Amino acid sequence: MTLSAVIFGFDGTLVDSHEAHFLARREAFGGLGLVLDRPWYDAHAGASLDEAVALLAAEQEIRVTVSVQEIDGRCTEAYLRNLDQVRPISWVVAFAESLKGHLPIAVASGSSETMIRTTMKAAGIDDLFPVVVTREDVSRGKPSPELFLKAAERMAVLPTQCLVVDYSNEGVEAAHQAEMPIINVRGK
């Protein structure tokens, strides 16, 4: 296999934003009548927002009438209020830094561009990644391979020549569907 580029997930991979996202989703989902507890969130942390809302609403038999865009806005506001909870994952950032100038690198994340750019700036890595693919760039988030395929396209490399670095079950599935090898980063 020829390695031509590396694609990094963001939340849980480059930054430990788990607590900030949990607090944001719990607040936003609570406004919908949904109860989001830590075990459920931990088991579905890599799910896109629309997928998480649909799954939790089905499990709790609650009909959600608010648009995903409105829920997303509420989540973003709450997340940005909890930005002090976010920390870079130093060894993954160091790995990305070691690749800069040697291989194309990208971020592919189901988070919004606002959340990613703001978090990257707060973590001091805003100039590290020339390519950033967000949920606004695709029609489906992970476990669909669309984020990773779009990152490969923007870097002008074959998908099968991209290494993915991600932590979530959804990211692993997306990498497999894209036929990209993956380094599965577990933990925070």
Give the pLDDT confidence of 97-139 residue by residue, as tens digits: 999 999 999 999 988 899 999 999 999 999 999 999 998 999 9
Mean pLDDT of 160-172: 93
Q: Could you tell me if 41 and 123 lie in one domain?
A: no
SS3 52: helix
Q: Could you tell me if 22 and 92 lie in one domain?
A: no
Asked if pLDDT for residue 187 goes beyond 50, the answer is: no
Q: Could you tell me if 137 and 73 lie in one domain?
A: no
Domain boundary residue among 53, 84, 115?
84
Mean pLDDT of 35-58: 89
> Which residue, among 126, 169, 165, 134, has the nearest Cα to 151 in the 3D structure?
134
**Distance from C-alpha of 50 to C-alpha of 76, rounded to nearest angstrom:** 14
For 27, the domain range is: 18-84
Q: Could you tell me if 144 and 53 lie in one domain?
A: no
What pTM does this model have? Answer: 0.85
Q: Could you tell me if 39 and 96 lie in one domain?
A: no
| Domain count of the fold of the chain | 2
Q: Could you tell me if 61 and 97 lie in one domain?
A: no
Domain boundary residue among 84, 108, 137?
84
The reported pLDDT for the residue numbered 188 is: 38
Q: Could you tell me if 94 and 154 lie in one domain?
A: yes
Residue 87 pLDDT level (bands cut at 50, 70, 90): very high
Q: Could you tell me if 28 and 92 lie in one domain?
A: no
Residue 169 pLDDT level (bands cut at 50, 70, 90): confident
The reported pLDDT for the residue numbered 111 is: 87
The reported pLDDT for the residue numbered 39 is: 95
Domain boundary residue among 84, 99, 118?
84
